[in-house]
Every structure is written in structure tokens, then in C-alpha cells.
């Protein structure tokens, strides 16, 4: 069997006496698009935070391409090829989309130089423009982020998060807050991009239609534990999943 790009081994995370993650095993192979589902508070973001190095697990191991990276900080994992986006986009609302992208690109190009001087670099605006074009949002470059539709904001956030060309992309609710009209377009663009660029993706999603359509495999969590792991068809047909997760209410705006 080939070495998986990501393996979570018996991961647990407790906050005080509360177990947010409990004995989680998850294997992700190169090229998979894995959807993580679960009700509010199931432990999805906690798991992603542990994989991305934003949280250390209480026990268990995270393996990236066979290397133990448990507790390695996010900025180090980013250099190894793991990138993630957050549930709420991490953007400067009073700057333009291009300026936001330039900031992400400049941090990569010259992390030790003062940000202000980097903005004078020839080519920075050009490479930021290309990065926006990669996700089909170049036309919004001059718009203030605060005035963009949520779908474009999410694409911009993910374009920024993936500007270092990672191998493993972790997305926390890529379509949350996006109108139902825009959702499929956002996810289709991301899927097209990631498949063409041969990235491996783990995404958290509450919209089951999106999961069914775009995930090649689904992992279902309840109370910090995996209750199902398999093809979308198999997981959605699982009686425990149907009872505990599918069709769950998810109040608008709280995702
Ligand atoms: N830093 C923390 N301190 C204490 N409890 C926490 C902390 N982070 C998460 N929790 C708790 O752990 C549980 C899992 O939280 P998590 O954010 O992982 O859920 P989630 O599945 O991402 O939910 P949602 O769908 O609402 O985003 C929740 O009960 C949450 O309150
Ligand atoms: Mg969450």
C-alpha cells in the first residue's frame, strides 16, 4: 500500500474534561477529495486545526507523507505543503481583492522584508493578478473586499490560503454563508482548480448536496468520533449517519 499523504492516528483532543475529538483515525490518499460532515460541535474544525498545526492533539499522531508532524506549528506545515482556509474568511475588508492577494503573495516571496517595501516589487501585482485569474476572480481585483459577494470573498480567501501551491488543501466550510445560487459555482471552480492542479483536498461542509457532488470520500463525525467513512453513497446510506447528521438543521449564518 502506498504511503497516504495524510494519516490521523488515534487523535484525541480534550478541552478541560470535554472530548472534542476522540480516537479519530483518518487516512487520506493523494488526489482524494474528502468531505467531513457532522452536526454543529461534532469536532470537525478541531480535527482540521490539529492537522493544520493550529492545535496540538492531546494524544495521537498526525502523519504527513509518512512523517510524524504532530504538534508542528502551522507556519512550518505550510512550508511542507499543507494549507488551510478558515470558517470565516481572513481578509482585509477595506482593501481591494488585488491588494489582499498581493499581501499573501508578498509574504511568500520575501517573508523577512517589511511589507510596505514589498508592495513596490515589480511583478508582485502581476503575480497576484494571475493568482486571482487562477480562480476566475481577476475581474474583481479592484473591488473592495467588503463590497464583494460572499462567494467571491470565499474564493479570494482560498486563493490567498493556497498561494504557496500546497499539496494538501484543508477547507473549513468553503461554501458557508454563500447564497444557494452561488454555492455550486464556488465549489465547481474550486474542484476544477484542485483536480487540474492535482491537489489533495479535505473539506468540511454542511451542505449535503455539495458533499454528495464533490467528495470522492466522506468521513462523518459525531461527538468527536468517526461514525462512518467511505464513498458518499455508502456514508449517506448509513443508518447512523442518516439519523444523526443528514438533514440536520444548520441555522443560516452560524456556519
Ligand atoms: N478552544 C476551545 N475550548 C473549549 N472548547 C472548545 C474549543 N474549541 C472547540 N471547543 C468545543 O469542541 C466542540 C467541537 O468544536 P468544533 O469547532 O470542532 O465543532 P465543529 O464540528 O467544527 O462545529 P461547527 O459545524 O459549528 O463549526 C464544541 O463543543 C466546541 O464548543
Ligand atoms: Mg467548525
Write out the DSSP string of 20-82.
EEEEEEEEE-TT-EEEEE--TTSSHHHHHHHHHTSS--SEEEEEETTEE-TT--HHHHHHHTE
136-164 pLDDT tens trace: 999 999 999 999 999 999 999 999 999 99
Chain centroid, CA 100 distance in Å: 18
Q: What is the pLDDT of residue 197?
A: 93
Q: How far apart are CA 46 and CA 251, in angstroms?
A: 20
Element (DSSP H or E) covering residue 151: helix 150-161
pLDDT above 70: percentage of residues in the chain: 91
Give the distance (Å) from ligand 2 centre to CA of residue 215.
Answer: 18
Give the distance (Å) from ligand 1 centre to CA of residue 85.
Answer: 16
Domain ranges of the chain: 1-81+166-250, 93-165
Ligand nearest to the CA of 41: 1
Q: What is the pLDDT of residue 112?
A: 58
Q: What is the pLDDT of residue 64?
A: 98
Give the model's confidence band at 1: pLDDT under 50 very low, under 70 low, under 90 confident, else very high. confident
11-41 pLDDT tens trace: 999 999 999 999 999 999 999 999 999 999 9
Which of 19, 37, 38, 46 to mutate for ligand 1's pocket (most ligand atoms within 8 Å of CB)? Answer: 46
Which of 8, 16, 37, 45 to mutate for ligand 1's pocket (most ligand atoms within 8 Å of CB)? Answer: 45
Q: What is the pLDDT of residue 255?
A: 40
Give the model's confidence band at 79: pLDDT under 50 very low, under 70 low, under 90 confident, else very high. very high
Q: Is pLDDT of 125 > 70?
A: yes
Q: What is the pLDDT of residue 115?
A: 57
pTM beyond 0.85, yes or no: yes
Taking the CA atoms of 181, 183, 189 and 192 in sequence, report the sign of the dihedral they define.
negative
Q: Which residues line ligand 1 (CB under 6 A)?
A: 15, 20, 38, 40-46, 87
Which bin fits 120, alpha (ψ -120 to 50), beta or left (φ > 0)? alpha
Give the model's confidence band at 113: pLDDT under 50 very low, under 70 low, under 90 confident, else very high. low
Closest atom of ligand 1 relative to the 49 alpha carbon: 18
Q: What is the pLDDT of residue 72?
A: 97
Nearest CA to ligand 1 atom 5: 15
40-78 pLDDT tens trace: 999 999 999 999 999 999 999 999 999 999 999 999 999
Closest atom of ligand 1 relative to the 224 alpha carbon: 14
CATH tag for 1-81+166-250 (out of 3.40.640.10, 3.40.50.620, 3.40.50.300, 1.20.1050.10): 3.40.50.300
Amino acid at each position: 500500500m502506498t504511503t497516504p499523504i495524510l494519516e490521523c492516528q488515534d487523535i484525541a483532543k480534550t478541552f478541560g474534561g470535554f472530548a472534542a475529538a476522540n480516537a479519530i483515525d483518518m487516512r487520506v490518499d493523494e488526489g482524494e477529495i474528502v468531505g467531513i460532515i457532522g452536526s454543529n460541535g461534532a469536532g470537525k474544525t478541531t480535527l482540521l486545526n490539529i492537522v493544520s498545526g493550529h492545535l496540538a492533539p492531546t494524544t495521537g499522531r498526525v502523519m504527513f507523507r509518512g512523517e510524524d508532524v504532530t504538534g508542528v506549528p502551522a507556519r512550518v506545515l505550510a512550508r511542507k505543503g499543507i494549507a488551510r482556509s478558515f470558517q470565516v474568511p481572513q481578509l482585509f475588508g477595506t482593501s481591494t481583492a488585488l491588494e489582499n492577494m498581493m499581501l499573501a503573495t508578498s509574504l511568500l516571496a520575501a517573508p523577512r522584508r517589511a511589507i510596505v517595501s514589498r508592495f513596490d516589487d515589480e511583478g508582485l501585482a502581476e503575480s497576484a493578478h494571475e493568482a486571482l485569474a487562477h480562480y476566475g476572480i481577476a475581474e474583481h481585483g479592484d473591488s473592495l473586499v467588503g463590497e464583494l459577494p460572499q462567494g467571491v470573498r470565499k474564493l479570494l480567501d482560498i486563493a490567498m490560503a493556497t498561494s504557496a501551491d500546497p499539496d494538501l488543501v484543508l477547507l473549513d466550510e468553503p461554501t458557508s454563508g454563500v447564497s444557494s445560487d452561488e454555492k455550486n459555482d464556488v465549489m465547481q471552480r474550486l474542484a476544477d482548480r484542485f483536480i487540474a492542479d492535482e491537489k489533495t483536498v479535505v473539506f468540511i461542509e454542511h451542505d449535503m448536496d455539495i458533499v454528495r457532488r464533490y467528495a470522492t470520500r466522506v468521513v462523518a463525525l459525531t461527538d468527536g468520533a468517526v461514525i462512518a467513512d467511505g464513498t458518499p453513497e455508502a456514508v449517506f446510506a448509513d443508518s447512523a449517519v442518516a439519523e444523526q447528521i443528514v438533514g440536520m438543521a444548520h441555522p443560516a449564518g452560524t456556519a
